[in-house]
Amino acid sequence: MTADAALDIAALERRRLLSVRAALTALVVASVGFPLGTAIGGSENRDTIGGALILAAIAGVIACPWIVRGWQSFMRRRMIAAAVEGRPDIRHIDGENQQADSRQALASDAFSLAAFRDSGLVESFESAAVNHILAGDAQGVPFAIAEIALLDAKGYRMFGGVLASFRLSHPRPGLTIVTRDSGLLGNLLAHAGSAVERLPLEDPSFEGVFEVYGTDQVGGRVVLTTTMLERLKTLDGVAQAHGFACAFLEDHLLIAFRGMSWRCPSWRILKPVDTWLQGYVARLAGLVDLPVEIVHTLNLGAPSSDWPPFMPADRPAIPIETGSGQVFTSALWRVVGEGGMPLANIASGLLFGGVALVGAWYGIKVGYSNNLFWYFWGMIAAGLVYGAFAIVGGLREIAKLAWRWDAPLRSLKRP
């Protein structure tokens, strides 16, 4: 390690220790302030002091996680910079401060964001929010890797993680998708309603690891050799239990790492930077180097004369925004936003339908007077109809949301 690098590590370590002390101070203030604030009282001055201590404790509760979060964001930029240092084939694009470069990188020959919408790797989306991008030309292979969130028309997040795209020298016919095996029932549910078919693997040793789908049986078997599957298994290890999915679509290798983040885990703040920084750098390097090896393997095979001539698809541009400020776009907010109204309709239907049923039971057991007979039974009928309509409609919307949820293969519709 050079002297300059050592100075950088020393500066990062000082920042880590400063953040640890600040977070611990906020935690101590919160731990001490609440019991003292509630215990002090009995006079105007003591109540004032107690209130101030409680307010300080509340501030400490809020400040502690945000200090850690701020350190994570600070470190992410420095760690990515460390990963690309000494690699002229990789450049880092900050999605927040280099928005024009981000849009250009995600609509280039190496990376077509719109292609992911047709790949079966992610749910259908309308826009994207980008945090950071690694782009370049590694060993003659143009590529781009983005830490990104994909959003629907309402702004809810459909996908959060890392997307990678690598340009192939020779386009491949059809679409071939490789995902992690999810068991018999999981694979059946993931594939239900999709336009792609399951492709059996020639090597049974990978049957319990991968599940393969595609639109071209012959083209899929040409791509997925034993060597290719071994390299995909190695790439899956880079995801560190998050799993991955990849697709061979036209002249691109597309990869989706769901849930992967380039922000280091919060518990890293308790460990010296020099004990884990190199592992982080190696992991990012693997995201580039391992797929490049896969692309080189594919590029060795010349296209078959039986394959139809390649005609690139004309795909519309995808709006791209910065990843900052995406606080209310998580999966939880999507559940609340898209599932809240159907659940409210179901609750309303149960309420009015239940009242109508109680009224009907009373009418049958006791009866209503002649002058109010048709009025009450009319209201009961209206309540029952509304209740049934609201419940069925709400359940239908919930079922549609559940059908779309985390099922990207279903975005590939049958003609």
**pLDDT tens-place string over residues 13-24:** 899 999 999 999
Question: In 196-218, which positions are buried (b, 16+ CB within 10 angstroms) versus exposed (e)?
Answer: beebebeeeebeeebbbbbbbee
Give the separation between CA 139 and CA 292, rounded to whole angstroms: 8
Instruction: Provide the pLDDT for residue 304.
Output: 56
**pLDDT tens-place string over residues 198-250:** 887 777 777 778 888 888 777 777 778 788 888 888 887 777 656 788 898 88
- Residue 3: pLDDT band (50, 70, 90) is very low
The stretch 340-358 carries a mean pLDDT of 91
Interhelix angle 226-238/277-299, rounded to 10 degrees, is 160
**pLDDT tens-place string over residues 379-405:** 989 999 999 999 999 999 898 888 777
Provide the strand spans (E) within 296-413. Answer: 320-322
Residue by residue, DSSP assigns 214-240 as: ES-HHHHHHH--HHHHHHHHHHHHHTT
- Specify the pTM: 0.81
pLDDT for 320 beyond 50: yes
**pLDDT tens-place string over residues 247-302:** 988 888 999 988 888 888 888 899 998 888 888 888 888 888 888 888 887 776 55
**pLDDT tens-place string over residues 137-186:** 988 889 999 998 888 887 788 888 899 999 888 787 778 888 887 777 77
In the chain, the N- to C-terminal Cα span, in Å, equals 58
pLDDT for 2 beyond 50: no
pLDDT for 319 beyond 60: yes
**pLDDT tens-place string over residues 125-144:** 888 888 899 998 988 889 99
Which of 215, 213, 252 minimizes the C-alpha distance to 115? 252
pLDDT for 318 beyond 80: yes
Give the separation between CA 292 and CA 296, rounded to whole angstroms: 6
**pLDDT tens-place string over residues 30-57:** 888 888 888 876 677 777 888 888 898 8
